Amino acid sequence: MPRLRLALCGLMIALLSACSVNNTSNASCDFVRGTNNNQSMREASGHDTGSADERQEDVSIGFLSVIFGGISRALSSEHSSDGKCV
């Protein structure tokens, strides 16, 4: 498990080190969107108990959103953003 965390941190640093405020803004918005969408889906399904495990899952989904959002923008060469995080 420590290797997985180290690999994820390394990947996030690589994606965020593009020296661009826009990339950092996109990454933070990806995180917010990921956590918000996961929480909204859980609340809509009626499974929201507010436990620490659920909040940890939201954070994990947020980090995955950062990773996949950066990769998808790099592959599609999409540089525009709507300016809204949520």
User: Residue 80 pLDDT > 80, yes or no?
Assistant: no
Q: pLDDT tens digit string along 30-56? A: 888 988 998 888 888 887 777 778 888
85 exposure class (CB count in 10 Å sphere: 0-12, 13-18, 19+): middle
CB atoms within 10 A of CB 34: 22
Whole-angstrom distance, CA of residue 24 vs CA of residue 31: 11
pLDDT at 58 (0 to 100)? 85
Q: What is the mean pLDDT of residues 56-76?
A: 83
Q: What are the CA-CA distances from residue 76 to residues 10, 26, 65, 68 (Å)?
A: 22, 14, 16, 12
